[in-house]
Structure 1
């Protein structure tokens, strides 16, 4: 048996508790990972609250946790490129749902990469989801180029905090939108050229940008209007209260007007994890850890995320 974060009904952070469930065994092509740390993500919070039943289903108890950092405990058949004891990180695939907030989890081998030397599990977990998402958004989807202007909406959050660093490393002029209390973190801690209080200005007062990265999911039409000719906008979030309307805006942008809004959901495999490890080893990206919670305080970690104001990531340490 093993400890895992569970809930027996949809609801707020208070529904979470730590219980015991059978430890899984790796199948062909899978790896059993002893989990050392996970981060708290908005997607799993939406699942816990019942907003994405197509992903979570309605059978209980359910689990939380999307990413993980730990070490290989055992190998399933046909896994030859990892060994027991390897320090690894990864993100569960969409088909797997949630469940990494546990002492052990099985993961397909191609969804695991090796943690770079010198990076502990807490800092690795803080960087993982945001880092792979930011690389995909800016490098692959937006194709951000040196000398361009980049607006990061939600610049202090898990994805935004890495995107600001990556944008600067790619040679862009970076403007970060965040709440007033986090502007020093965005500017001085992450390296944004400009940090703006999102509550103090309207979108049309921000200027024009080559690339807009949205991590919030609301008011997409207003931010799309900020693009220069040939500009690109990428969003990595959906407004869960208005999913149909938000998807409609994204779809319409591909047909009407000059600037398409691109949306994707992160689903990284080893090549992307290796890219993140390389950028980290080169010193281009620093893990943004806000607060570390023990597994027994998983409810408090989710409540902290719901309260807003995070600087980077809340991390849950698995004893």
Structure 2
């Protein structure tokens, strides 16, 4: 096989998981100031479902084939001219970048060194892939956006998923009283993550939940309803929008931010080295562990997408790149 090419997950049209396939593309070479990473694993993220289905085509365009994969773990195998702060052989994790920067579902990837961090020595690279995108988002949401304080009441909506499972662990570590909303089958699971209260979201109405100081929402629906649960001075961090109604949902988020300054925060994670340094420190201090539901080989990325769309994930679906 030509060693100037590599395997990558591609799709030639928008659609369901069945459009994904593993093909061969040119192997990248690091430009000046870039790093070449041999990818070992990546996770499957919710935003990629909308990307693959074409719901974000105004951002990604219609030129095919398009690539898949957002975050990654791996080893540095080559440095571009003038690259500093990282060395060949380093075990790293990172995020490929904002849309249309997908492409980590491949054997190799080039990224700027500021988008990388070093993985703790005792953390397996496949398990570690559950953390780069989701856990840096959870840290930013709780610590930087919401300024969560010890003793405050925290509600995590979608607590069993990737960001949610990290937010539950971190909320407990930060000293909050954590209430987790999840499916009935996942209630014991979120308790093991540190939730003080675990509630089946289908058996209660929001009004029954009581007031909260901080709400972390990973569902993206009914945001106005949940916003009413905030105490005076409370903060809501919205980390998702309704993928079935992207324009209306984004409009609702924008309106909430305008009419509730200081109370509703929405952001799209774009982590850099400082975020990954924070992530490694949280892992090393025992505040955070990767939560992996299932590991799929690269050739079964479509199956991982089907599983995520079916719902019920505990933590993250991870794709291993052999």
- Give the TM-score taking structure 2 as reference length: 0.96
Counterparts of 1:84 and 1:133, CA distance in 2: 27
Alignment map for 1:241-252 (pairs within 5 Å): 241-252=244-255
Determine the structure 1 residue equivalent to 2:147. 143
List runs of 5+ in structure 1 lacking aligned partners: none
Of 21, 24, 38, the match for 1:20? 24
**CA RMSD across the alignment:** 1.2
| Alpha-carbon separation, structure 2, partners of 1:68 and 1:204 | 39
1:45 to 32, 35, 49: 49
Cα 1:257/1:276, change in 2 over 3 Å: closer
Cα distance in 2 for partners of 1:136, 1:294 equals: 30
CA separation in 2, counterparts of 1:264 and 1:255? 14
- After TM superposition, give the deviation of residue 258 of structure 1 in Å: 7.1
Is 2:317 the partner of 1:314? yes
Matches within 5 A, 1:53-72: 53-72=57-76
Aligned length in residues: 318
- The answer as to whether partners of 1:253 and 1:259 remain within 8 angstroms in 2 is no
Alpha carbons 1:218, 1:239 under 8 Å: kept: yes
Distance 2:252 2:20 in 1: 34
1:270-315 Cα deviation digits (max 9, x unpaired) = 0000000000011110100000000011111111101100000000
Instruction: Name the CA distance, whole Å, in 2 between partners of 1:249 and 1:103.
Output: 39
1:35 matches 2:39: yes
SS in 2 for 1:33: strand
Q: 1:228 to 1:33 in 2, by over 3 A?
A: same
Q: Which of 76, 79, 96 is matched with 2:80 structurally?
A: 76
The equivalent residue for 1:112 is 116
Indicate the larger mover: 51-60 or 109-118: 51-60
Structure 2 residue runs without a partner (length 5+):
none
- Alignment match, 1:154: 158
For 1:296, the equivalent position in structure 2 comes to: 299
Question: Is residue 250–residue 260 contact of structure 1 (8 Å, CA) maintained in 2?
Answer: no
> Does structure 2 retain, via aligned residues, the 8 Å contact 1:224–1:259?
no
Distance 1:301 1:56 in 2: 22
Conserved? CA contact 1:227–1:259, under 8 Å: no
1:4 to 2:2 alignment: no
Q: TM-score, normalised by structure 1?
A: 0.97
Per the alignment, residue 272 of structure 1 pairs with 275
Q: Secondary structure at the match of 2:131?
A: helix
Alpha carbons of structure 1 residues 262 and 82: separation in structure 2 relative to 1, 3 Å:
same
Tell me whether 1:182 sits opposite 2:186 in the alignment.
Answer: yes
